Amino acid sequence: MTSVVVSGYYGFGNTGDEAMLEATLEGLGRRLPDLRATVVSGRPGAVRAAHGVEAIAQLDVRGVWRALRRADLFLSGGGTLLQDATSWRNLAYHLALFALARRAGAPSMIFAQGVGPVTSWIGRTMAPWSLRGLAAITVRDEASARALVELKVTDRPPEVTADPAFALSPCPPERAEAVLRAAGVGGGSGSRPFVLLAPRGLWNREYEADLLAVVGDWAVDELEATPLLAPMQFPNDLTACDMIVARMRRPGAAVVLGERLNPREMMGVVGRAALVVGTRLHALIFGVAAGVPVAGVEYDPKVAFFLARLGEKPVASIVGPAGAIEDLRRRLREVWAGRAELRSRLVGLAAEQRRLAERNFDVAASVVRGGAGR
């Protein structure tokens, strides 16, 4: 039996994080047939129900210690866990897990993470000590690799890969069509096209709602398309979706996707959109994976880093300057006019991102087989 402990922001209904976990469990399972995965989560019950694996509460120190003592590998995986922009306490917790794993004798890996920013004194002091002796490091962009070097995490060079969600397959087409019909969007070959909007709605939510309301009206007026608002974190994002609709000039033309979808279902729905406009990073990732043109609204540097890999820039920022709403319409028109060229580029780019996503699992499996870190 191969025991792997996985830590991340799991169990909170965030479609992107759950997609990363599902892809990780599936990818490791293909390489390690005797896999026994244990997930450290803020909501272990939700993880057990969604993924059918063992789960331990984040603050169950004894439980985490026991799991790490028997682990062949500890993965700190997915998302942007090693940063203190939200809270230095969050960073301190994840760094402490690495220290605990080292003491327990479990090889550890930074797994497909976004890293940074780390600006607090405690974070910059703890990171080099907590992250020494790692068995492997993969990160999802060049900026994260640079951030680790700046933090003096230099025992092992980071490998730039891609988000694990790129390795996940969407639901069957008939299921995606059923979701769209139930929402009143249609989805058949002769139906009205839709533009999928994915808000985040955590901070600067009023400005974000103003921006995405402009996107919704633009989709109706210029594309004769239905704005479909998709809550990527259910039910938290429903409030943000309602705020956007309330600000639209044509609110009756918009549809809010009120059904809780699993990651594969959301990927299937995204794959039928004419365009994806997202603040949520994984709405953009799902779009690229499906070959759908995307337009990103930046709330965090990771959105710009991801778009840069496509040769694109954000169409707006929720921390942007005054006048961004006027610029937004122009940028949307540019993206739409160039959609055919972008779609053709996405074919090769999505395949490359899938290959790089699979590389994460190869590296993790090689650590287990080689016993690195023991």
pLDDT in tens, 250-285: 999 999 999 999 999 999 999 999 999 999 999 999
Q: pLDDT per residue over 46-88, tens digit each?
A: 999 999 999 999 999 999 999 999 999 999 987 889 998 888 8
Query: For the residues 275-301, what does the mean pLDDT come to?
Result: 96
> What is the model's pLDDT at position 204?
86
Degrees, nearest 5: CA angle 306-308-314:
80
Length of the chain: 374
Three-state DSSP at 42 gives coil
Residue 254 to residue 370: CA distance in whole angstroms: 53
The closest of 255, 319, 263, 307 to 281, measured between CA atoms, is: 307
85: burial class by Cβ within 10 Å (0-12, 13-18, 19+)? middle
Closest CA to 222 of 193, 257, 246, 247: 193
Residue type, 350: A
Bigger pLDDT: 365 or 327? 365
pLDDT in the model for residue 374: 37
Domains and CATH numbers, the chain: 2-160 (3.40.50.2000), 173-352 (3.40.50.2000)
Q: Which pTM value belongs to this model?
A: 0.95
Which pLDDT tens digit goes with each residue over 202-239? 878 999 999 999 999 999 999 999 999 999 999 899 99
**Residue 288 φ then ψ, to 5°:** -60, -45
The residue whose two tokens read 């492997």 is 136
